[in-house]
């Protein structure tokens, strides 16, 4: 019992004590200073990139302006058929839109050119004399709009 063999743990203890002593005698080197940020190393490059992004965004917004303007204005009157309309025809078409929207409430709405009241058939409202406008057909139809057809 007296001469017991050195235990393997003693070797480990000696090894660790030696390492601790070494570490105390020679402290580890301080960590290297952190690298400067990229923006400080290349300020002009970063500024150029920022300006480039701003310029690209400005070009994109400018190119999208017509779509933005169109969305802000809301739906336009839709008209099918002949487009070379004179002043009286434009007024007649406007009357058809107003009548269809229920805005023309004073008396019987009539065509400004021939003076006759509009013909209504169901939801359809037609000019009584489209030939006075040089057209063969001029009417408002729900879900279609004003249709103006001229002689082909």
**82 contributes a contact to Zn ion by CB under 5 A:** no
Q: Give me the DSSP letters along the chain.
A: --SPPPPHHHHHHHHHHHHHHHHHHSPPPPPPPPPPPHHHH-HHHHHHHHHHHHHHHHHHHHHTHHHHHHHHH-PPPPEEE-----HHHHHHHHHHHHHHHT---SSS-B-TTT-PBPEEETTEEE-S-GGGGT-SEEEEETTTEEEEE---
**92 contributes a contact to Zn ion by CB under 5 A:** yes
**Least gap, CB of 136 to Zn ion (angstroms):** 13
Tell me whether residue 46 or residue 137 sits nearer to Zn ion (CB atom).
137
**96 contributes a contact to Zn ion by CB under 5 A:** no
- Of the candidate spans 37-45, 72-80, 99-107, 119-127, the one that interacts with Zn ion by CB under 5 A turns out to be 119-127
**127 contributes a contact to Zn ion by CB under 5 A:** yes
**93 contributes a contact to Zn ion by CB under 5 A:** no
**Least gap, CB of 101 to Zn ion (angstroms):** 17
């Amino acid at each position: 019992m007296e001469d017991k063999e050195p235990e393997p743990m003693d070797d480990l203890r000696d090894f660790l004590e030696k390492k601790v002593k070494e570490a105390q005698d020679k402290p580890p080197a301080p960590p290297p200073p952190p690298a400067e940020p990229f923006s400080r190393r290349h300020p002009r490059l970063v500024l150029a990139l920022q300006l480039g992004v701003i310029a690209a965004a400005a070009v994109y917004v400018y190119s999208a302006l017509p779509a933005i303007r169109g969305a802000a204005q809301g739906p336009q009157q839709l008209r099918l058929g002949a487009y070379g309309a004179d002043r009286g025809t434009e007024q007649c078409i406007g009357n058809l839109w107003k009548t269809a929207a229920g805005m023309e409430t004073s008396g019987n709405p009539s065509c400004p050119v021939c003076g006759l009241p509009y013909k209504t058939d169901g939801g359809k409202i037609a000019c009584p004399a489209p030939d006075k406008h040089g057209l063969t057909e001029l009417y408002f139809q729900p879900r279609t709009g004003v249709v103006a057809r001229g002689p082909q």
